[in-house]
Amino acid sequence: MDPLAQLNDIQLTEPTGWWPLAWGWWVLIAAAISLCVVLLVYFRHQRLKNRVRRAALEALDRLASMPPSETSFMAINDILKRIAIHYYSPQTVAKLHGQHFQAFLRAQLPDKRRATFDQLLGDYYHALYAGNPPLENVSAQLAAAKLWCKHAKLDHARAVSEVQHA
């Protein structure tokens, strides 16, 4: 007799389902959900943190669309002062004016942006407080203000320490 004839067919097991998931998949799902929540909270915080910066940029854009006038210089200064007071210590920033405020603004910019800021700003604060600033400089002052609003490092501790050492 043939021994192979006595063999029974191979019985296949039921295919393994994907449910219930192994513990590793649960860990991966929990990590992905946690990451999504952390990113959502971070981006929401950044958006809220930068809302004053965005409002200042919108105000500068509105100012740029108007014809230049003698009040344009004071409006630019007011916008910069308001954003600086919001992000830094009001007691420190409110008392700054003229060259000290210009130095404060300059200190908040990254090194690679400072030369452009200085070139655009020029003698702005000297002309502002001297009386009649030339109206042809309004566009340069607006560009300097926009540059500062876009690129300033809004870090409270750094600003206070640099102003106190100045």
- Tens digits of residue pLDDT in 91-126: 888 888 888 888 899 989 998 998 898 888 877 776
Mean pLDDT of the chain: 84
**Can you give the pTM of this predicted structure?**
0.70
pLDDT at 119: 85
Between CA 67 and CA 19 the distance in angstroms is 69
Quote the tokens at residue 122: 């020029």
pLDDT at 130: 66
Nearest C-alpha neighbor of 156 from the set 102, 104, 98, 97: 104
Angle between the 51-65 and 70-87 helix axes, to the nearest 10 degrees? Answer: 180
Are the C-beta atoms of 81 and 90 separated by less than 8 Å? Answer: no
Are the C-beta atoms of 92 and 159 separated by less than 8 Å? Answer: yes
Residue 158 pLDDT > 90: no
